[in-house]
Amino acid sequence: MVTRASGTIYTTAIGTVANYSIVFPDGATNFWPSYNLLVPQGIDPQAATPVVFALHGSGGRADDIVAGSFQSSGLTDSWLDRGWIVVGPESQNKAHRHWGVQAGREGTTRAWEHLLATYPNARLLVYSASMGSLMGLNWLVESARDGDSIPVEAMALNSPVTNLRDLVATNDALRPSFDDAWFADADVRWPAAQWTAAIDTPDGGHDPQQFDLSGLEQIPLRFYLGTKDKTIPPATNGTLFNQRLTALGWAAEHALVSYVGAHGGATSFQPADVNAFFDRALAL
């Protein structure tokens, strides 16, 4: 049990380290996925408690919910103060730079199923940052495509990567680390032509700007885009992706929120707006 500065008390599960728990669903301490888990004191395991899966970005770690950007921005505290459970899944890539496609999807699903074993009526929300958004969108769309839909009630995307093809084509410096996570799991440099071949597949090749979006039809989405973001330019990522959603005419909320700042900066997190968005989704 841990008391935060605000006085709110939360509990941690097995393997407590530095005020948070590292949970290994399969019981092996070296097995991915591990995830950090924060549970407010007194939660009824049978209650329909909101659970936020916070998907970190490139270079982030699962402990961002307690010692990184999610915590310092006030997001983690805001969720705990509401009595919500917070989960920080760990990327499986050895350098924790990006989320791998298949392993990331399967591992995040396994973490969710593991949580449901204790909280069977939990209501799932997703908050994702940068490359974590790319992973989150792949998780939802590809799971639905394969008949295993994830019951996400809303997803907030901070400075999201939604155009993999453009990012690979225009940011040559990033390509080696993308190679590492998304294809070979080793520091192997894929030629641009090989990347293009991998992306140009019938199912979109894990690229949100290309793949079938039907798995997102019922999910409210909110994009937080920086006016000074040169790392993941909104014009070719979040803004363009939202145009695809608008063209489909779906009833679920999807909107752009502009913040003044660079990629993933302090102004990008918008806790009050994020939680108002989540509240609307939970009330539906």
Residues 173-214 have pLDDT tens digits of: 666 555 555 554 444 444 556 555 555 554 555 788 888 888
Higher pLDDT pick, 41 / 85: 85
Asked whether the predicted pLDDT for residue 18 surpasses 70, the reply is no
Residue 19's pLDDT is what? 38
Tokens of 203: 């199912």
Average model confidence (pLDDT) across the chain: 78
- The label of the residue with tokens 């974590």 reads 132
Q: The pTM is what?
A: 0.85
Q: Does residue 149 contact residue 127 with C-beta atoms inside 8 Å?
A: no
- Arithmetic mean of pLDDT, 1-19: 40
Question: How far apart, in Å, are the Cα atoms of 191 and each of 59, 129, 176, 194, 197?
Answer: 23, 27, 10, 5, 10
Asked whether the predicted pLDDT for residue 141 surpasses 80, the reply is yes
pLDDT tens digit sequence for 214-257: 889 999 999 999 999 998 999 999 999 999 999 999 999 999 99
User: Which positions ≥6 away from 192 have C-beta within 8 Å?
Assistant: 168, 169, 175
- Arithmetic mean of pLDDT, 265-281: 94
- Arithmetic mean of pLDDT, 88-106: 60
Backbone torsion region of residue 85, taken as left when φ is above 0, otherwise alpha when ψ lies between -120 and 50, otherwise beta:
beta
Percent of the chain with pLDDT over 70: 71
User: Domain limits of the chain?
Assistant: 2-283
Q: Does residue 11 contact residue 84 with C-beta atoms inside 8 Å?
A: no
Please identify, in words, the CATH class of the domain defined by 2-283.
alpha beta
